[in-house]
Structure 1
Amino acid sequence: MPANLKLVSFNPNPKLSPSTNLKNFVRYCRDELTLWADIEKFSWSASYWPDTYRDTRLRFVNLDNSRLHASVTPTDNQLFHPAFIEVAKSYLRFRHTLKPHRNSAREMQAFRALEKALVEDMGIPDITKIHVRHFNRAVVLLAGYAARQNIVLALLQILHLLSEKLIVPAEVVRWRNPYVKGESYDNLRGANAPAAVKLEKVADQDAFFSIADVFSRPLSQLDHSDIMVTSVTALLLSAPMRIGETLRWRTDCLRSDNDKNGNLQRYLAYYVPKTRSYTRKPIPTTMAQVAHEAVERLVEITEEGRRLAFYMESNPTKFYRHSDCPEVSDDQKLTPEQVAQALGFIHRTACEDFMRKYTGNYSLTGFTLDSLWRIVLKEHRTQNPHFPYQESPQADIKPLKMSESLMCFKRFQLSARFSTSPVLLAPFNSDHYRKRLDGAVRSDRKNQRPLCFFTKHGYDPLRLNSHSLRHFVNRMAKQHGLSIEMITEWSSRASVQQTRTYLHDTPDKRLERTSSIMQTKQEHETLAPVSEDEAASYGQGPYHRSRYGICRRSWRAGPCIKFADCTNCSELLACKGDKIALEAIRNDRDNLVRTKNAAQLAIEAGERSASLWIEKATPQILRLIELINVMENPDIPDGSPIQLIGTDFNHEALIVEEKAKEAGVELLDKEQLALKYGQDLVECLEMLIH
């Protein structure tokens, strides 16, 4: 075993009480383990510890104060109970010594829920007396968390380890995570979630249109925060990316190459931390120009920040000579106005507040550029703890330097209240983007939507999650024919199963896609209505006009049995003076006359079956002429009802027909008999009646 490694082992004594084993475990983790001891300002008794794997802090605040702002120092009543905080610290140091991991935030949430459950029941939270009711209560407290399934899993891991150390009862190993199977994230919110739940994750289209509208405005109307929001959104819509990957974009991240067909293809090239690999993400042609414009805008507004970062990376000893820096020697005494000018403060009061932080008073006299630079460097180290990087570097691979990053901003460059600092940098993080697209009301603030991009530009207070853009691009890719394997690779995911979570197809969409694959789908096309001019272009032939279109027949099939049948119905009631009805009757008459004339021409051309059309049309024309004469008769006052005596299908005839069917009797249609056997047969039948 190497000399610098130490065996990590704590062996509890089964003869001792759980309380004694707990004290020994705490003593061992505090005094024997050395994890994090080499980190500056680390202290066992501190209210927070550094989380080296997440570039943040582990704060030992209780569940009720878990949302306490990071800048606020928690009070004693906001921290874990003194009897519980040592348990949490011991577990974290022991577990991370054995196996460092990135799940410390979930472990803290598990501890918070467990502590609250114990405090509610016994006042002083004694973990050695934990019972199933405490576990059940902790599970209830975590029910509202999106990652509840994994937090409860972390809770079980905590209890299992403490059980191995004979600190908690052995029965805890029998407890089960309730958020599995039907209650799992996969079934409730993930790949197998109901369609309605998946639909909620879809990005708001109104938010897209609002951002696009601002992006299309002249640059003179946009400040740097507007350019950042719109340009980052444009790039996130160009390929499926995570908001955290923005820190991996270089100024030349947008590149181009020829595809296999020889066409120009633009793509984004950068390192993906989650998959630990470099990637080239093709950009759809429709987004190529937008992506190009977005990158150019970001390059322009961050150019000065990269210039300052490059200067800082050289460990300078002289003041950074920005464009507004006083043109004096480095050791010359400055006036108060020159001090404010050198530090980039527009208002003298703000400059005085800044100087008091480092000098203890508000005075702006007696400073030179050299002395100001020492103050600037102190503030620089405070604001940029990972400089020259924006995030904590890992052992195996370093992130981009700020001077290489596309997202290199100066301090307050995205602020609406403060002037941009010409001598200080500010690491970019995802909150700079997220919070500006969140229209939620902050009821505890005077300005309830302090950063909202949408209300700033006169839109409704919408909300757009950066990850929903990734969902949206995935869904568009699937709908346009990309395979799930291609989408998985394009999105830099580890497995196809993860991709399925993002494909929020509705049942109708899935049915349509399945029917297309199985070739069981029949396309139906609704034909456009035929206009009067189009109907006239057909000419005349074995078809006739109706109010609904053209009835197509053949000479030999004869006219339809419902041919102009309204005039043969005893139930037809017309109104004298109805101009619309009169015009329709005239059109019917003219159409029938044209049909009769066409039939006559067909007979002369040798088509003898066309005589059926003449026999059918002639009486119809006569009845229409009679009806027109009545409707146009000036002796009949307008409003008079007009009834024609029909030959068939009045109400009485229908009743008789129904009774005949019940009796097994078939009533033959006279017109059909005449068409089939001739009018002579019908006349013979009528003679039998008389």
Structure 2
Amino acid sequence: MSDVITFKPRDQLNAEQQVKEYIAFAQNLRGFDKENAPLDWGAVNWSFWIKSLAFSKLGANVRSKSFGPGDVLEPQIIDFAKSYCIHQQTLNRTSEVVQVVAVRLVEKALLDLGYAADITLVDGGVMDRAAEICDDRLVHKSEDRAYRCGQQLQALSKFLDDNKFTVRPVHWTNPIPRPNDAEGHRKREDDRKKKMPDPVVLNALAEIWVANPQEHRDIFATSNSVILLSAPGRVDELNKLAKDCVVWKENTKGEEELFLNWYGQKGFGFSDKPVPKTFQPFCLEAIERIKAITEGPRRLARILEENPDEFPIHDECPKVSQDETLMHEQILAAMCLEGTQGTPRNSVKIWLDQTLKILDKRNDCKASAAILKEALEGMYAGKPSPGKQDRLTLTLRKLNVFIREYWLPSTFPFTTESKTVKCEHALNCYYSYQFEKKFKAKLFSIEAQDNNKLNSALTPAAGARNKGLNIFERWGYEGKGFGLTTHQFRHYLNTLAAKGNVGEVERARWSSRLDLSQNKTYNHETTQEKLDRVVSIGMGSQNKNLAELSAKNEPISLKDLGGSEDRISHTTLFGKCEHDFAVEPCPKFRACLGCSKHKCIKGDDEKLRRIKFKKEALRINLEKAQKGVDEGSFGADKWLQDTMQDYERACELVNILEDPEVPDGSVIACRDDGFTEVTKALTARGKLEISGGQLPAPEKAKPGFDKDKLRKLLGR
């Protein structure tokens, strides 16, 4: 998939021909072919090759194993849908194939408007209708989901325009507004309740953890929950966590701190996530508990990888050669079957028959189907009688073909398709059926842990409870909705970090998040909690903390500066500004030291250093201006006069800020010269009215400065 050839439209072709060229191009993309099972272009359901992808109509059950004629995309558009999905997924693989949703919406819009389901007929009106369908609450009950589908429609529209696939240009943008997430909004409050875990449920989980559960499924659920509570991660990322993920680093105080080497999805990659000190012992204990129940599966993973042509000999497996014909009892032992269907022979026959029915529906298990079919055909029909004998054909080597085609994950020897961590090195590596109570663990195979495994153990969903999967129900915790989801841990830790004044960059990095703007989605502080946090850093209290707040560039309100308005001041190079930029731009053009709206705060050493630097720059300008006046340069006298005023103000300001009798935190207002750039221009043109009259424009430049004052300022 690394050698991707981008499709390039040909200018001389019309829209219909362009689409045909594109489909031919996409049919040659081989990035999703599997060994001995190339992608079947004619299939409606591509879930075997690309997760959860089926080319069904909008509203059809996409999880269905078979689709009726009325559930499949129209013949005129289905090949384009397949081409668009495989092309975009080849360029950028995602966990959810969102492109197919956009095509489904467009097909529905075309049919609603009386058109054929032809992608070349798409225009702005069709896209508008698709957006209406998308924004229908009956289709997408979530505003966020509707907005994101609208964004996919916009991406499809741009793609059609860029490649000239339509008769008329589309030129369309998503009209569905981004969901309102303003603070205090009722929906925001509802989101907070839904996305944050219930403290009662968290306490119940802690009680189960402290009880030191012994069942493997309970160890799996509680220990992985502790890891997700140690550092904010996604449940998928647990599959990429190595058994030796623990990292110790020495901080600036010489103390050892615990980190987890973590692989963040969505392009973040590997990073070391810090674990809060209070949670370190629990995190280490959780990792050790998981290691204790996964040593065997990791050892099996190594054997399977190093011996691809041999059946792995496990504790229950008969100790025979790989090519020796197996008896019925040996087959049951090798495959970890209970053998409860009467005699061992009858149990094997039923197992072969049931397994073949499953294999017949799969395209990737043809070799296994042939092996098992041969074994079943070798078993005589009817009741046992003298002279009847089975023709035994199964060997360990033949069963090895079956377990590798049918039992092992398609990503083996890696835990996921990203090929980040091998199963033999993964912390979460388990036998197939290791958590089942009705079946024996399959000691010859390992199992990939998908998102549902951990969520099913924690979820309040009725389906999980009815199947006995919910850990809280098994441990006697009752109540409707008693449970949580793994993603709630991520929201919970991000909110705690925000309450603890952890910075935006640090929170994003801790969460393996590239987009800092997403931090607010995971911060569920209440309005009161945010207000309390603002007060705790000094806002709303007068006044000794102002110097510290100014030095840290923390927010300072106008009331703290002596103003009457309830808003935050602007930070400048030298202090704080009271100007309201929502009303007009800065009338001084950032000449802060000559503006009464600018306030300096005593005790901020960095701001004082900058004012001194500005003072020195003004002194140099004074000398240049004086030289210009001495040489008779035009305008130099005005420049000198203005610079003298600026330098004098800077000197006065430095003297006040360095005065030991002035307490730290004092607010010093700059002295205003009464002019802005606008008033200066009006004065120069004689248009500024003062006390009912006008200032006449000067006839010629005159020295308007005091030479003695200048010498004093320059120390001469």
TM-score clears 0.5: yes
Residue equivalent to 1:158: 156
Q: Which runs of 5+ in 2 are unaligned?
A: 342-346, 357-368, 380-389, 543-716
Residue equivalent to 2:412: 387
**1:63 equivalent in alignment to 2:58:** yes
Q: Which amino acid aligns with 2:147?
A: Q
The answer (yes or no) to whether the contact 1:440–1:449 under 8 Å persists in 2 is no
Could you list the per-position Cα deviations for residues 302-359 of structure 1 after superposition, in whole angstroms to 9, with x for gaps in the alignment? Answer: 1110011010011244432212223445555443222211211123447545434341
Q: 1:83 to 1:500 in 2, by over 3 A?
A: same
**1:111 equivalent in alignment to 2:132:** no
Could you list the per-position Cα deviations for residues 603-649 of structure 1 after superposition, in whole angstroms to 9, with x for gaps in the alignment? Answer: xxxxxxxxxxxxxxxxxxxxxxxxxxxxxxxxxxxxxxxxxxxxxxx
Q: Which amino acid aligns with 2:51?
A: T
**1:213 equivalent in alignment to 2:207:** yes
Residue equivalent to 1:490: 510
**2:522 is matched with which residue: 499, 502, 518?**
502
**1:293 is matched with which residue: 285, 295, 313?**
285
The answer (yes or no) to whether the contact 1:190–1:501 under 8 Å persists in 2 is no
* Cα distance between partner residues in 2 of 1:225 and 1:111: 41
Residue equivalent to 2:603: none
Q: 1:267 to 1:166 in 2, by over 3 A?
A: closer
Query: SS state of the match for residue 469, structure 1?
Result: helix
The answer (yes or no) to whether the contact 2:223–2:287 under 8 Å persists in 1 is yes
Shift of 1:439: 2.2
Shift of 1:276: 4.1
The answer (yes or no) to whether the contact 1:337–1:348 under 8 Å persists in 2 is no
Q: Percent identity?
A: 24
**1:403 equivalent in alignment to 2:414:** no
Query: SS state of the match for residue 187, structure 1?
Result: coil
Alignment of 1:652-667 (within 5 A): none
The answer (yes or no) to whether the contact 1:25–1:90 under 8 Å persists in 2 is no
Query: SS state of the match for residue 65, structure 1?
Result: coil
Could you list the per-position Cα deviations for residues 573-606 of structure 1 after superposition, in whole angstroms to 9, with x for gaps in the alignment? Answer: xxxxxxxxxxxxxxxxxxxxxxxxxxxxxxxxxx
**1:187 equivalent in alignment to 2:211:** no
Could you list the per-position Cα deviations for residues 499-542 of structure 1 after superposition, in whole angstroms to 9, with x for gaps in the alignment? Answer: 232111111111111122235369xxxxxxxxxxxxxxxxxxxx
Higher Rg of the two aligned structures: 1
Q: 1:81 to 1:514 in 2, by over 3 A?
A: same
Q: Which amino acid aligns with 2:188?
A: P
**1:202 equivalent in alignment to 2:196:** yes
TM-score by length of 1: 0.64
Shift of 1:82: 1.8
The answer (yes or no) to whether the contact 1:110–1:154 under 8 Å persists in 2 is yes
Residue equivalent to 1:453: 471
Q: Which amino acid aligns with 2:56?
A: V
Residue equivalent to 1:469: 489
Q: Which amino acid aligns with 1:466?
A: T
* Cα distance between partner residues in 2 of 1:490 and 1:191: 28
Q: Which amino acid aligns with 2:67?
A: P
* Cα distance between partner residues in 2 of 1:514 and 1:85: 56
Shift of 1:490: 2.0
* Cα distance between partner residues in 2 of 1:149 and 1:191: 18
The answer (yes or no) to whether the contact 2:7–2:25 under 8 Å persists in 1 is no
* Cα distance between partner residues in 2 of 1:32 and 1:64: 26
* Cα distance between partner residues in 2 of 1:305 and 1:362: 34
* Cα distance between partner residues in 2 of 1:162 and 1:103: 24
Q: Which amino acid aligns with 1:153?
A: Q
**2:276 is matched with which residue: 278, 284, 301?**
284
Aligned residues: 495
* Cα distance between partner residues in 1 of 2:509 and 2:449: 27
**1:35 equivalent in alignment to 2:46:** no
Range 222-231 or range 102-111, more displaced: 102-111
Shift of 1:49: 4.1
The answer (yes or no) to whether the contact 2:57–2:104 under 8 Å persists in 1 is yes
**1:430 equivalent in alignment to 2:451:** yes
Q: Which amino acid aligns with 2:519?
A: T
Q: 1:303 to 1:138 in 2, by over 3 A?
A: same
Residue equivalent to 2:602: none
Q: Which amino acid aligns with 2:44?
A: S
Q: 1:278 to 1:157 in 2, by over 3 A?
A: closer
Residue equivalent to 1:178: 175
Q: 1:76 to 1:348 in 2, by over 3 A?
A: farther
Query: SS state of the match for residue 260, structure 2?
Result: strand
Shift of 1:5: 8.4
The answer (yes or no) to whether the contact 2:102–2:149 under 8 Å persists in 1 is yes
* Cα distance between partner residues in 1 of 2:38 and 2:183: 41
Query: SS state of the match for residue 241, structure 1?
Result: coil
Range 499-508 or range 191-200, more displaced: 191-200
Could you list the per-position Cα deviations for residues 455-478 of structure 1 after superposition, in whole angstroms to 9, with x for gaps in the alignment? Answer: 233323434221210111122223
Q: Which amino acid aligns with 2:471?
A: F
Q: Which amino acid aligns with 1:387?
A: F
Q: 1:47 to 1:379 in 2, by over 3 A?
A: farther
Q: 1:449 to 1:348 in 2, by over 3 A?
A: closer
Q: 1:243 to 1:151 in 2, by over 3 A?
A: same
CA RMSD of aligned residues (A): 3.4
